[in-house]
Amino acid sequence: MVKDLKWSDTSIYDEIYGYIPLTDIELGIINHPLFQRLNYIRQLGNTYRVFPGAHHTRFSHSLGAMCILDKMITSRYINIVKPEERQKLRLAALLHDIGHYPFSHAVETIFTENGKIKEGKHEKFGEFVLKKYSIKELLDVYKPEEISDIFLGKSGNVLYNQLMSSELDADRMDYLFRDSIHTGVKYGRFDLDRIIHTLRISKKGFLGVHEEGVRAADGYIIGRHLMWTTVYTHKTVSGYDELLKAAFEKTIEKKFSTLDKLKKLSEEDFIKFNDNYVLNIIAKNMKSKDKYSSDICKAYFNRGHEYHLHIAVEAKEFTEEGKSSLNFYQLDDYKKKSNLERLIKRDELKGWIFHSNSKTKLPSLKPNMLEDYYKFEKEGKSGEEMIKSMYIINNEGKETMFQNYEHSLTKKLTNLSYDIVRIYTKYDYIEEVEQIIKKDLE
């Protein structure tokens, strides 16, 4: 067992946290080509097409998540983790994105079929990467599954799961702060120091924020919601995501085209699978003899009005009641390919109809109702949703789910949601698509 952290002489300077010290194990992992691959995957995918500063990477985010997690477990009231466990937790944070796809979540939706295939999620694929490739040899006394279980949220230790896979985890806190700084928007900047200072563990073992930190917790949750509505679901970013996915599916080599094929890649080939690879292969395909493939690739690289996708129809709702409208649900139903193809029979138009939808909520998880909480409490269980929740903890060590805490702003906003559905199309076809969908909705 590790008796103490073996610190390296090397530290990495981060633009947010300053110098991040590294242990010998971490330095070896960071220097490994599989981890260096994250230098070539943008944290926010196509967001730089709208927010030019958003070129930060999964590499810097992974370091940041490790830094925040270490601040959490060494904070004044949480400092109960033994050295060998501290190193394991740091490794889980460092490696939580090791399985990410090029352009982050834009390409991930292809391998998960819009979330249907759980095995295709980058966290789950990260587990596979840790077990298959040579980076596992650098984990010292730790087993790959020990590390992946933590960032997958299925560790036997509730606290460890909450640190890396909950509403109040190191991953979310770093990307929110980092994304806000690099996009230039102010919404995601919350009082990180105050949250860490007020972290507590309840009598039942749940991680949470003390009552005195409720305003900092409000800022964090509301900041996430505002970043979602202004950055993560920006209409132009979503349009470029749709173009990228279409171009990717038309141009990608077969060995990278499905999850099963990805799992058969050599380590050398997997290391090449990054943003630069995707951009290069799309650029080459601009001269394709197939007109649609050529046009879709040109559209992705050109910003001109006639090139990028335009919104034919959009539906937004900010309340649960508003979503009851028939049009909202009908429009969302167009994500089914059969419905999209039913709209327009002309072959040249089918490929130019793109469906995009996103949903968020305060808190972003499904609402955890009080009766569910009491049910779990009565049965002596800690359900997955309960573990993932964010808690406020009082002086007696009793926890209350954040959205049920009387003095939080979030409680007043629990039913606020931002659900958005968009149908995009090429400029040439926008009037025709608008008319067809409008008629279909009537």
pLDDT digits (tens, 9 = 90+) for 387-429: 788 899 999 999 988 888 888 888 777 767 788 999 999 998 9
Best CA proximity match to 13, nearest among 4, 3, 23, 22: 22
Q: Strands 207-210, 18-23: parallel, antiparallel or unpaired by DSSP? A: unpaired
Residue 439: its pLDDT value, please? 85
Best CA proximity match to 190, nearest among 226, 223, 163: 223
* 187 within 8 A of 223, measured Cβ to Cβ: yes
> What pTM does this model have?
0.92
CA distance 121 to 115: 8
CA dihedral 246, 248, 250, 254 (to 10 degrees): -150
For helices 275-284 and 291-301, give the axis angle rounded to 10 degrees: 130
pLDDT digits (tens, 9 = 90+) for 320-338: 666 777 778 888 888 787 7
CATH architecture assignment, domain 7-184: Orthogonal Bundle (1.10)
CA distance 344 to 441: 14
Give every residue of the chain whose pLDDT is below 70, as ranges: 1-3, 115, 320-322, 361-386, 415
Best CA proximity match to 168, nearest among 76, 101, 71: 71
CA distance 393 to 401: 9
* DSSP E strands, 227-329: 310-319
* 17 within 8 A of 11, measured Cβ to Cβ: no
CA distance 129 to 108: 15
Best CA proximity match to 69, nearest among 195, 212, 230: 195
Residue 260: its pLDDT value, please? 94
CA distance 271 to 17: 28
CA distance 348 to 351: 7
Give domain limits for the chain. Answer: 7-184
